Amino acid sequence: MTFSSAERTAMRRALVLAATPGIPLGPNPRVGCVIIDDDGATVAEGHHRGVGTPHAEVDALTAAGERARGATAVVTLEPCNHTGRTGPCSRALVAAGVRRVVFAQPDSSPVAQGGAARLTAAGIQTEGGLDEPDARALNRAWTFAVDHRRPFVTWKFATTLDGRSAAADGTSRWVSGPEARRDTQRLRALCDVMLVGTNTIAVDDPLLTVRGDDDLPLPNQPLRVVMGERDLDPTRRVFNHDAETLHLRTRDPHAALAEVFARGRQHVFLEGGPTVAAAFLRARLVDEVIAYVAPMLLGAGRSAVADLGIATIGDALRLTITDVALLGTGQDATVRLTMTPPKEH
């Protein structure tokens, strides 16, 4: 693969455009496009702004007009090759008369893939793979969902040093410190589903919404999903009008994820209690673990996770730590551990 310095610069700019704040999460990926001329000068820029809006390539081509003819389009995702709410970007690029297309990440969606082949067949120089890891990181949940046909699952929990998520009398406010709780809101805002079990709703009556402030603007609220077969009091706060709520009457994590995936959701933030957490872990459906560990000891109380069927230390589920952060100070401090489970466990 050979890319010019101008194409590399344009791709860095396209990635910035793709990450423009305020774009709704899913179901479409974030995409940016920069059109450059033979001298490497920028002709036009574009980015996708959410479902039903022009794709990044069309946005840039519209701004470029006739100046797109003979130019190079640099885009963060392989141009799509299907007609949905908008037409195929591959066809738009051919019609605009671009000479060359450079993209970062190939599109593995069974519906949209094939754009590069169409462009090549039309005589357009087409090359992919430029800054692909950065493009994949930008659309981590979307890429995972497309590749695995299910949402990416992040399990978040707060625990004391001795592994308790609640005291013996059931109280759990607050295990983590204020900075950790604010950090949780930030992470919630990156997901499009918040999932808990029916027991959490019955006992804790959580609101399950993202609360913003001046530094964390309120996003579109995630879908609130309650998983479990028991009936629930309709006056529980999760059933208010602050966000959409879905009660899935199943105990099967596979069935729950299939349902939310069918609704176009790509990233589940699992905040349920120990029973739901154990169900997802035993089903090998947890892709990321975020633990807030407080400098606190209880000695008794509810464990952070229920029985995993592990009887000996040799069978322990060993996670890989990918990030450690200290949030807050003194007795209000909390350590955030970000971890990944083994691919096979």
Residues labelled as active-site residues: 57
Q: Could you tell me whether strands 32-36 and 72-77 are parallel, antiparallel, or unpaired per DSSP bridges?
A: antiparallel
Q: How far apart are CA 140 and CA 131, in angstroms?
A: 14
How many other C-beta atoms can be found within 10 angstroms of the C-beta atom of residue 209? 18
Q: How far apart are CA 109 and CA 78, in angstroms?
A: 10
Q: Tell me the C-alpha to C-alpha distance, in Å, between residue 32 and each of 18, 60, 79, 127, 305.
A: 4, 9, 11, 16, 41
Q: Tell me the C-alpha to C-alpha distance, in Å, between residue 84 and each of 11, 53, 80.
A: 26, 11, 10
Q: What distance lies between CA 228 and its chain's CA centroid?
A: 24
Q: How far apart are CA 340 and CA 219, in angstroms?
A: 26
Q: How far apart are CA 329 and CA 335, in angstroms?
A: 10
| Per-residue DSSP letter, 313 | G
Q: Is 323 exposed, middle or buried (0-12, 13-18, 19+ CB in 10 A)?
A: exposed
Structure tokens at 55: 């794709």
